[in-house]
Chain A
Amino acid sequence: MRRLTLILIPYFWLLALFLVPFAIVFKISLSDVELAIPPYTPTLDLSEGWAGFKSFLAGLDFENFTFLTTDDLYWKSYLSSLRIAIISTVLTLFVAYPIAYGMAKAPKHWQPTLLMLVILPFWTSFLIRVYSWMGILSTEGYLNQLLLGLGVISEPLAIMNTNTAVYIGIVYTYLPFMILPIYSALERLDESLLEAAEDLGCSRISAFWLVTIPLSKTGIIAGCFLVFIPVMGEFVIPSLLGGSQTLMIGKVLFEEFFSNRDWPVASAVAVILLLILIVPIILFQRNEQKQREADG
């Protein structure tokens, strides 16, 4: 009996506030936009019974999804989000791996401090971390002041409001998510395996490629998913650092909802985004599951 209550309370909470809302998004994505409150039609009227339910079903169609394919803003935004997410995941991996590697190789008594230094920015407001780059990258910002002062450039660089600024912002804010899983994989790595590889005639570089990289694979995969999936729906970074040519689907969804007040189209955008992300989310959970089984 107790066990049942223990299961049912969190279960119902999640059903009511996680699963049901998705069902509603899906339903509204099939509705039509209307100048009313709420701004869509049809709404389910239970007082009319079965007939009400039938007319409700008849009002649903895939029009919004057809609309998404006809207006090239949408599929361009999906493609552009996908490209930005892939490129920034790879960039984050290249920045994070040497740091995680250095941490794992550092003297043991340093490691708790280094770990805390990586986690600390993660506790600091995401918004503030993105904001801190606005002052650095703007035309009269600190970076341009420095480079102009050193005489490296004669004209200020236009980085702010471009995709470059978006990449910098993503790599910066998502770096801890990539460092932590790679570090925890590298930290467990058995040093004697590397010595064995070198004894057997491997050069240090090929030992790195043949031993270290494969053994840190689960960490790399986990880190890539932890960056890729949320970046696909990223809204804050492209809005603050990106320019008018930065197309990202999270931004489109936000504007469709708040500026255009077209809830059905915003819902359809969300449904497609979820369909794109469902495969990486399942792969991520499989990877985590495998990791837990390897630990246990």
Chain B
Amino acid sequence: MKRLSWFNATSLTLGFAFLYLPMVILVIYSFNESKLVTVWAGFSTKWYGELFRNDAFLEAAWVTLRVAVISSTIATVLGTMAAYVLVRGGRFAGRTLFSGMIYAPLVMPEVITGLSLLLLFIGIGLDRGVLTIVLAHTTFSMAFVAVVVSSRLVTFDKSLEEAALDLGCSPFSAFRLVTLPIIAPAVISGWLLAFTLSLDDLVIASFTAGPSATTLPIKIWSSIRLGVSPEINALSTILIALVTIGVITASLASKRALMRQQAEEMAAERT
């Protein structure tokens, strides 16, 4: 096994320090007693208590969660369909336009997406609220799902599907029994990606949210525009902790699934 060279070890250490130090400081200072965020005045969890008494934040968190679950589920269904069409659909009229519309939202500046959707909603007279945020989030996150799922579809063996069809499966049950189990990890990570994109989004939600529905990022935004606050530090710490637990659990689960698969393959080879 090769050892890391001095140069590579230094660049990795500095790089990860740069990536993680700001968040570590944020977490530490969320336990600060003082109202002044940058002056340490002793350990306290009082800002967490304040946070849970703040109804506006809790209300916004609930809206955000609902929007994220609904929009990421619809986006996963539509994105998987789109990926299937792109990879397996062959040629059809307007394919170039279709793949362009799939990939463009990945890099489209959020201000443009947000503005255009708002003008559409006003044009058709749709009241802004949870529904409009869900529609907006579904549209931009289905592109991400489509990319993740199509990269899995490209690598898997088409003859498995064809075998199922030859053996009398209908196209739908071939998809359900053969294709879906194989692409399931990509579909799940697509859903997770869509879910976090929706939780995280400020700009598109600012355009498409109405007075009846405020999401957590909009709430955080209006509070931090005025400067740093210990309550936001506490909220950030909770969100960072949730994401960390989620990502580590997901990666352990996928590692275990991979190991099980390898064990099964080895067992199959032996027989």
Contact A172–B115 (Cβ < 8 Å): no
Residues of B within 8 A of A3 (CB): 89, 171
Which stretch, A21-29, A52-60, A66-74, A193-201, touches the partner chain B? A21-29
Q: Least Cβ distance of B156 to chain A in Å?
A: 12
Task: List residues of B (123-152) whose CB comes within 8 Å of A's CBs.
Answer: 123, 135-136, 138-139, 142
Do most interface residues of chain B lie in helix, strand or loop, or is the interface mixed? helix
Contact A134–B227 (Cβ < 8 Å): yes
B interface residues, tally (CB under 8 Å): 86
Residues of B within 8 A of A240 (CB): 224-225
In the complex, whether B44 has a CB less than 8 A from a CB of chain A is: no
Given contacts A9-B78, A120-B244, A141-B38, contact A125 B236 (CB under 8 A): yes
List 18 additional A-B contacts (Cβ < 8 Å) besides A102-B9, A102-B15, A106-B8: A10-B98, A13-B142, A14-B101, A24-B116, A25-B115, A120-B243, A124-B243, A132-B22, A132-B23, A132-B25, A132-B26, A140-B39, A142-B38, A230-B107, A235-B110, A250-B109, A257-B115, A270-B112
A to B CB contacts below 8 Å, 23 in the list: A9-B78, A10-B78, A17-B117, A18-B105, A24-B116, A98-B8, A105-B8, A107-B1, A116-B248, A118-B19, A121-B23, A123-B247, A124-B23, A128-B26, A129-B22, A131-B26, A131-B224, A140-B39, A172-B18, A235-B203, A236-B202, A236-B221, A257-B115
6 closest A-B pairs by beta carbon, nearest first, are A233-B109, A21-B116, A99-B15, A98-B11, A102-B8, A132-B22
A positions within 8 Å CB-CB of B: 2-3, 6-7, 9-11, 13-15, 17-22, 24-25, 28, 38, 95, 98-99, 101-103, 105-107, 112, 114, 116-121, 123-129, 131-136, 138, 140-142, 145, 172, 175, 225-226, 229-230, 232-236, 239-240, 250, 253-254, 257-258, 263, 266-267, 270, 273-274, 277, 281, 284-285, 288, 292, 295-296
